Amino acid sequence: MKKLIILSLMLAVAGFAYAAEKDAVHSIEIPVVKTELRAGEGMDTTEKYCSICHSLDYITMQPKFPKATWVVEVNKMIKVMGAPIPEADARVIIDYLSAQYGTGG
């Protein structure tokens, strides 16, 4: 009988421990990996639209392009990839990219 009581107590304690563990809130920290764009006019607009689908690395890892290439690239994002960028903002972005990540021509 005494053994049975001890066994029951052990089971109860184990049960409480399991329930407490199951309900415990675990939190994890996700590191924020942010690509910094070069400061310049139009940076905010570029950051806002060009980071919707992918990292801004896609911009910073490109070689320097002539403006015509940035025009094609931004239009490809809009027409082929479906980037929701109004025309006026697209112009701001193209000017920014040409100035900061362009060949100057």
Shortest Cβ 30–ligand HEC spacing (Å): 22
Distance from chain centroid for Cα 73: 21
Cα separation, 6 vs 4, whole angstroms: 5
CB of 102 vs ligand HEC, minimal distance in Å = 12
Q: How far is the CB of 97 from ligand HEC (least distance, A)?
A: 6
Name the residue nearer to ligand HEC (CB basis): 13 or 54: 54
Q: Are 64 and 26 in contact (CB under 8 A)?
A: no
Point out which residues bind ligand HEC (CB under 6 A).
49-50, 52-54, 58-59, 62, 73-74, 76-77, 81-83, 85, 93
Instruction: Specify the residue, 40 or 82, whose C-beta has the smaller distance to ligand HEC.
Output: 82
Rank residues 8 and 60 by Cβ distance to ligand HEC and give the closer one.
60
The distance of closest approach from Cβ of residue 18 to ligand HEC in the complex, given in angstroms and rounded to an integer, is 45
In 3-state terms, what secondary structure has residue 102? Answer: strand
CB nearer to ligand HEC: pick between 4 and 101: 101
The secondary structure of the chain in percent helix, strand, coil, rounded to multiples of 5, reads 60, 0, 40
Phi, psi of 15 (to 5 degrees): -60, -45
Answer for the pair 26, 81: CB distance below 8 angstroms, yes or no: no
